[in-house]
Amino acid sequence: EVQLVQSGVEVKKPGESLKISCKGSGYSFTTYWIGWVRQMPGKGLEWMGMVYPGDSDARYSPSFQGHVTISADNSITTAYLQWDSLKASDSAMYYCARDGDSGSGSYDYWGQGTLVTVSS
């Protein structure tokens, strides 16, 4: 069974760093892109970027380029989303999702989400 399990709720202060995770299981982790999606409170879905664990190739939305880093560790089948210096505006739910078999870039499996709150 394909599963993406994300790390838990985070409460951080502005300026702090953070790395959240997404552990894949039940499939060949290195051969599927993993994407990250932001959802701010009461708002829509925003595509942030994606990583190909097979070679660590990462692509970013222009809106998020330079603000976050997306990476993967094949040895523990885990993808990551990290910030060096959080802002209050980073408060949101973050989802990881697998880019599936269709070749269309669709996300067929999703993590449960990680809620990040940034507040002084």
Partner 1 sequence: DIQMTQSPSSLSASVGDRVSITCRTSQSINTYLNWYQQKPGKAPKLLIYAASNLQSGVPSRFSGSGSGTDFTLTISSLQPEDSAIYYCQQTYGMSYSFGQGTKLEIK
Q: Provide the binding-site residues for partner 1, judged by CB under 8 A.
A: 35, 37, 44-47, 50, 59-62, 95, 97, 100, 102-108, 110-113
Smallest gap, in angstroms, from Cβ of residue 120 to partner 1? 27
Smallest gap, in angstroms, from Cβ of residue 53 to partner 1? 16
Q: Is the separation of the CB atoms in 23 and 77 below 8 Å?
A: yes
Residues 69, 43: Cα–Cα separation, whole Å = 23
Specify the 3-state DSSP secondary structure of 21.
Answer: strand
Smallest gap, in angstroms, from Cβ of residue 96 to partner 1? 9
Residues 95, 38: Cα–Cα separation, whole Å = 6
Q: Closer to partner 1 at the Cβ: 61 or 91? A: 61
Q: Closer to partner 1 at the Cβ: 41 or 120? A: 41
Per-residue DSSP letters for 72-93? EEGGGTEEEEEESS--GGG-EE
Smallest gap, in angstroms, from Cβ of residue 16 to partner 1? 26
